[in-house]
């Protein structure tokens, strides 16, 4: 089993592996190119996003800057918008449903590190997938941690740190992020 296989399957893996290093270098170069494009060059933006992201639907907007670790572990549904400064550390799968909107300066982090410093020092880590459902609005400055699932029809308040799953039809916020309100019907606020 390769280090990439271990990484994707959630096992401990060696992040200093040369093949993983090549994968990261490739996508970092593509992200750099994407971030340097003129805002009006939408054709080149779309082309580069297709090279970076593993699977994506229609009507995708990611405002620069955008950074990820591998790209091939990211799946984005239809009607996705991310404001500036999106970071996705996609050592494991990161899946976004349809109609997802993300505020600026937000991050999704699948990577985790062992508590034992000797293991951590040599570059051993693990990754847990993140799933974001349909019709989700994530406020500015939100950080989503490894292994979290965010349900459908969810609003995450700005500045939240999401460490646990968030159920469908919820407004959640805080550090740690917690459900503060259920959404029922066609509420506006």
Q: How many domains does the chain have?
A: 1
Please report whether residue 188 resides in a domain: no
End-to-end Cα spacing for the chain = 50
- Is the C-alpha dihedral spanning 41, 77, 162, 28 positive or negative? negative
Please report whether residue 148 resides in a domain: yes
pLDDT at 189 over 70: no
Give the pairing type, strands 124-127 and 130-132. Answer: unpaired
pLDDT on residue 184: 83
Please report whether residue 57 resides in a domain: yes
Please report whether residue 189 resides in a domain: no
Give the structural domain span for 88: 3-182
Three-state SS across the chain?
CCHHHHHHHCCCEECCCHHHHHHHHHHHHHHHHHHCCCCCCHHHHHHHHHHHCCEECCCEEECCCEEECCCCCEEECCCEEECCCEEEECCCCEEECCCEEECCCCEEECEECCCCHHHHHCCEEEECCEEECCCEEECCCCEECCCCEECCCEEECCCCEECCCECCCEEEECCCCEEEEECCCCCCC
Of 50, 84, 113, 143, the active-site residue reads 113
pLDDT digits over 83-133, tens only? Answer: 999 999 999 999 999 999 999 999 999 999 999 999 989 999 999 999 999
Specify whether 113 is catalytic: yes
pLDDT at 188 over 80: no
pLDDT digits over 17-27, tens only? Answer: 999 999 999 99
pLDDT digits over 28-77, tens only? Answer: 999 999 999 999 999 999 999 999 999 999 999 999 999 999 999 999 99
Q: What is the CATH number of the domain that holds 106?
A: 2.160.10.10
Please report whether residue 76 resides in a domain: yes
pLDDT digits over 127-175, tens only? Answer: 999 999 999 999 999 999 999 999 999 999 999 999 999 999 999 999 9
């Amino acid at each position: 089993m390769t280090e990439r296989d271990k990484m994707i399957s959630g096992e401990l893996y060696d992040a200093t592996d040369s093949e993983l290093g090549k994968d990261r270098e490739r996508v970092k170069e593509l992200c750099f190119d994407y971030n340097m494009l003129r805002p009006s060059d939408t054709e080149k933006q779309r082309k580069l996003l297709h090279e970076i992201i593993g699977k994506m639907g229609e009507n995708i907007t990611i405002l620069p800057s955008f950074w990820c670790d591998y790209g091939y572990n990211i799946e984005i549904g239809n009607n996705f918008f991310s404001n500036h400064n999106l970071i996705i550390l996609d050592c494991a799968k990161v899946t976004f449903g349809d109609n997802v909107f993300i505020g600026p300066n937000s991050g999704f982090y699948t990577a985790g590190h062992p508590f034992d410093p000797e293991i951590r020092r040599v570059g051993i880590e693990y990754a847990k997938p993140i799933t974001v459902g349909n019709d989700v609005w994530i406020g500015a400055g939100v950080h989503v941690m490894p292994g979290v699932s965010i349900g459908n029809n969810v609003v995450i308040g700005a500045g939240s740190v999401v460490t646990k799953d968030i159920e469908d039809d919820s407004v959640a916020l805080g550090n740690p992020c917690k459900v503060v309100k259920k959404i029922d019907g066609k509420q506006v606020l």
